[in-house]
Amino acid sequence: MCKKIEEVLRTSIEVSELITDFDSDFQNIVNPFISKDNAKKRIVMFPIQDKPFAVIFCVVSPKLQESVIGAIINECSVFTWPTMKKTILLEYECTMKQKCQMLLRVTRRLFAQVASLETLLRIAMDQAKQLTKAEHCTVMLIDVDRMDLYDSGVMGGKERRFPLNVGITGEVIRTGTLINMQNTNDHHAFNPVIDSLPGVECRNLLCFPIREQSGIIGVGHLINKITDPYFDAMDEEMALAFSIYCGVCIMHSVVYQKIQEAHIRNALANELVMYHMKVDDQEVVKMLECTGFHNHPHLSSLHFNPRAIPLRELPCYVLKMMYDLGFDKKFNLKKLKLARYILYVKKGYRDVPYHNWTHAFNVAQWAFAAIVNYKLIANGIFSELQAMMYILAGLMHDLDHRGTTNSFQIQGQTTLAALYSSEGSVMERHHLAQAMCILNTEGCDILESLPRRDYDRALLLLRDFILATDLANYFKNQSEYKAIAADFQKGNKLHVNALSCMLMNCADLSDTLKDWGSVKKTAASVLTEFFKQGDVEKSRGELPALMMDREKCFIPDLEIQFLSSICMPLFEIVGRILPRAAPCSKIIENHMERWDAARPVFAEVPAAAGLSVLLSPELDNLIEQNLREKELEKERLEQERLEAEAQEKE
């Protein structure tokens, strides 16, 4: 509807204009039907006013006098216009019927896919394109938590996120009305970054809100009409009708997924209850009345071996650590509740080779030792609340561990993967959920006496500490950790949070700081878990990773790689921030030397026998022998070098 056509509709007589005075889109429609010998041809237009729509008869270069053209058109319209009008109405009704039938089919397809939001969105975009004959379609949803728009990339691209107030999309969200742009260059708000797709030239755009009962939940874009120069009123009606059905389906999908998650959580809770027994009052009393020796002189040592303590005494030592740091008085921890909580946590661990209750105690003990030896509270690095949650996180960081990795859960499409894989850190999020479950259990809610602000802060600290134990997060942030270590500022919250995560990793990997005998036993436990997982993967027809395959894993190389690529960089970074932690790197170096000296021993037997060699009492003698030979060889080479230098001087 260009300006000239609008002016003609306001009159009741014929209007004559040069074709060159019209807009280009009008000329593009008319030019193919006229000769090109005279570009300045005239068009005589005569309006016929009617309802629900009007019509303009256009005559190009009439040979009769223009004064009679109007009368001729008027006479012709008396006979032709009623038939044309009925034809147009019939066509409209037929088109509407066809579109409604298509819309019903689309709705059926959408409601059949509520189980998967990703599939639902993909089908919705495909069907919207078919309904309106558009080249491209996108659907962006509003993330209420982050208050932005996101395009999940269901059509093969990466997820894109945008502010809510940008481009035509922002206008639609603000006003709640549909915008139909016949030419995107004519609208000041058009932003190709959000209003189009990467690599797509957007000529015309139909942008519409997606609603449900609570309001706008997203925005749809239909880009580039295929059969016409732009989207018409019929397309607008279809888009608005489609958006309502689409919004309902999206909300149904979200609710469906929440119901599924609730079912999964319920199944996990039932599984946990069936597997673990409750702690009765008699057990709590027995622990509190324990008369065993609870004053081991090296409890606060960073290299303390928990195997020096009888297994039954470990809960008592956890209680002692909390008391020694004064947390019971500072946070009003009730002795009965604390004892019950510790026993609940103990029973929350499965009987797996490595990630068991002993490992949990070991991590909590190292956290205790780090607080004492690195003076984390005294130096103002940790508050007392942070220090307490550091120990509690160490105690609970592997709750209900099944002896398998995150990748195993995801590849096996387990219940845990179904619940947590979208968030990442599958097992760590499960450990956190179980920790929260215990802290919310009646009689174990040791944090109940905290003020609301401290309570909320404690749970956030617990979450950050436990999620930090996923080494994938450590690798992702390693470069950032190095930069922070170069200029650590204990008044900077970002720096302190980074150090907290690294200290949690140090506690989790603290077995590498024990004596050589303990290091060997830990390696055997870890490998036993790995090999069991590898056996299960083989039974499923999958190819296990090299370190999980008992028939291919060369243990010394695996241990050296682990120490050099994970442990050494971690303790070196922490050592730059906390100088008292620097000696840890030397201990790891010594263990690496021993593993290197063990290579010839393991090389003499098949890889499948590696675990037996590791547990052999003869291994240490052979390692010592190899170390002496290396030292003698080193001394010989040094002597030869000195003799060669002396000869050169002579």
Q: Which residues are catalytic?
A: 355
Euclidean distance between CA atoms 528 and 522, whole angstroms: 10
The amino acid occupying position 542 is: E
> Checking DSSP bridges between strand 179-181 and strand 215-225, what pairing results, if any?
unpaired
- List the structure tokens of 47: 């309006």
Contact 465, 393 (CB under 8 A): yes
- List the structure tokens of 359: 């490992």
Q: How large is the C-alpha radius of gyration of the chain?
A: 37
The amino acid occupying position 538 is: K
What secondary structure does DSSP assign to 583-645, as a single string?
Answer: HHHHHHHHHHHHHHHHHHHHHTS-GGGHHHHHT-TTHHHHHHHHHHHHHHHHHHHHHHHHHHH
- In 88-183, the DSSP E strands lie at 134-143, 148-151, 160-162, 179-181
For the chain, helix, strand, coil in percent to 5 are 60, 10, 30
The amino acid occupying position 390 is: Y
Contact 294, 320 (CB under 8 A): yes
Q: Which residues contact 611 (CB under 8 A, 6 or more apart)?
A: 524, 527, 528, 531, 550, 555
Q: E strand or H helix at 89, and its extent? A: helix 66-111
